[in-house]
Amino acid sequence: MSITPLIEYEDATEEVLSVYEDIMATRGSNWVNNFWKALATQPELLKRTWNGVKSVMADGALDSLTKEMIYVAVSATNNCNYCTNSHTTAARAKGMTDEMFAELMAVVGMANQTNSLANGFQVEVDEQFRNGGRN
């Protein structure tokens, strides 16, 4: 059920297994989702992607719940069904309520609307907004 075989635990090499174990340990869960099993056909891609996700999604200047909601926002915009479902699940596990989800979607919808309006009207960036208001 993917373009490459899914690598199950029992078929995983040492290298792949150690990533699987890190995924489960980091999440405090006892299973690995299909995304990683698909990437595991190329261990280098699996390791690099997981290490990136683990590092990026940890609490930092932004808390991890906010990060999950940003992930959902991008995934809904790109229409990635897999990512929308998996990161919504993750956001819920971290405390996102139905009301927060609905507000998140309201912002996503509004942003997609005004993005196309600004592009369609070819509106020039105001002096005050240049470089994201940096100067």
Positions 9 through 38 that interact with a copy of itself (CB under 8 A)? 31, 33-35, 38
- In sequence order, what are the residues at sequence separation of 6 or more whose Cβ sits closer than 8 angstroms to the Cβ of residue 88? 72, 96, 101
Looking at beta carbons only, is 24 or 62 nearer to a copy of itself?
62
Contact by Cβ (8 Å): 76, 105: yes
Q: Amino acid identity, residue 47? A: K
Between helix 81-93 and helix 98-121 the angle, nearest 10°, is: 140
The least CB distance from residue 12 to a copy of itself, in Å, is 16
Contact by Cβ (8 Å): 12, 22: no
Looking at beta carbons only, is 17 or 52 nearer to a copy of itself?
52
Binder among 17, 27, 41, 94 for a copy of itself (CB under 8 A): 41
Binder among 22, 27, 89, 94 for a copy of itself (CB under 8 A): 89
Contact by Cβ (8 Å): 4, 16: no
Binder among 26, 70, 94, 95 for a copy of itself (CB under 8 A): 70
113 is a contact residue toward a copy of itself (CB under 8 A): yes
